[in-house]
Structures are given as C-alpha cells and as structure tokens.
Amino acid sequence: MLLVQRWVYRLLRLLVWIVALAYLLLEAREVAEQRQLTRITVFAVLFLVASFQMSVARFLAAGTDPGETKTIVKASVAMFTASLFSVLDGAFDHLFLMVQGGVVQALLPALYLLGWVVNLVSVVVGLGSMEVFLRFLQRFMAQP
C-alpha cells in the first residue's frame, strides 16, 4: 500500500508540472488571440488549493510538529499569492483590450511582456507551493 501511495504522489507531482506547462502554452496562445476563458477558473482553483492547504495546516497545528505546520502555512500563503498574481494577469488582459486602438498602442508589446511575466510568476509560485505541499503529504501519509 505504501509503495502505491509513493507512486501516486510521484505521478501527481509529474502531472502538476505537465498541467502547468500546458497552461503556460495555452496562455501564450490566448494572449495572441485575446480570449479570456481561463481567468476566473485559474484564480478560483489556486484560491481553493490555498484554502485546502491552510485547512491542513490548521488540522496539523493541533498535534504535529510546529515546523511542519509552519511549512504548510508558507505553502498556503504562496498559493494565495499565486492566485493574486492570476487576478493581476486578468487585469492586465482587460487593460490590453482597452488600450488596443488607443494612443498608447506603441506600449502594447511591453504590456504583453509584463502580463506574461506576471502569469509566469503566478505559475512558478503555485508550482513551488504544490511541490512543498505534495512532499509534505507524501511524508505525512507514510507515517504509521
């Protein structure tokens, strides 16, 4: 059973990275097409994961090592930060729609780059949070 759990966690970690890469590729395509299909969904998912991580930290605070609880709280705060960056990315995309055809159209490439960097930061921070959290879950589930 423990061997199966280890493989499941490894597979889950791999899938998280694949989904993040696929999301970045889709985001690059959406920037070119100016479609905003994923904004609210990405924010909601990141926010829900942060909430779940915080709930686990509260559960652990009752009877576990304070160091591990602190690690999970940090992972939760990082995921919440990723969700805020996702909202900021959505705000940039809305700004792009307003700016197109305006006087500041010359700034549009720089704004696109800034929006993509914000999105990249969101994904990297979210991935870092998930890595920490999944490693913790793997250790926690392996305990007798």
Burial class (CB in 10 A: 0-12, 13-18, 19+), 102: exposed
Structure confidence at residue 40 (pLDDT): 62
User: Under a CB-based contact definition with an 8 Å cutoff, are residues 3 and 135 in contact?
Assistant: no
Three-state SS for 65?
coil
**pTM (two decimals):** 0.67
Quick: pLDDT tens for 63-99.
Answer: 767 778 888 888 888 888 888 888 788 777 777 766 6
Q: Measuring CA to CA, which residue among 123, 114, 133 is closest to residue 46?
A: 123
Sequential pLDDT tens for the chain (144 residues) = 667 777 777 777 777 777 777 776 766 666 555 555 556 667 677 777 888 888 887 777 777 677 788 888 888 888 888 888 887 887 777 777 666 666 566 777 777 788 888 888 988 898 898 888 888 888 887 777
Structure confidence at residue 103 (pLDDT): 58
Close Cβ partners of 97 (under 8 Å, ≥ 6 residues apart) = 34
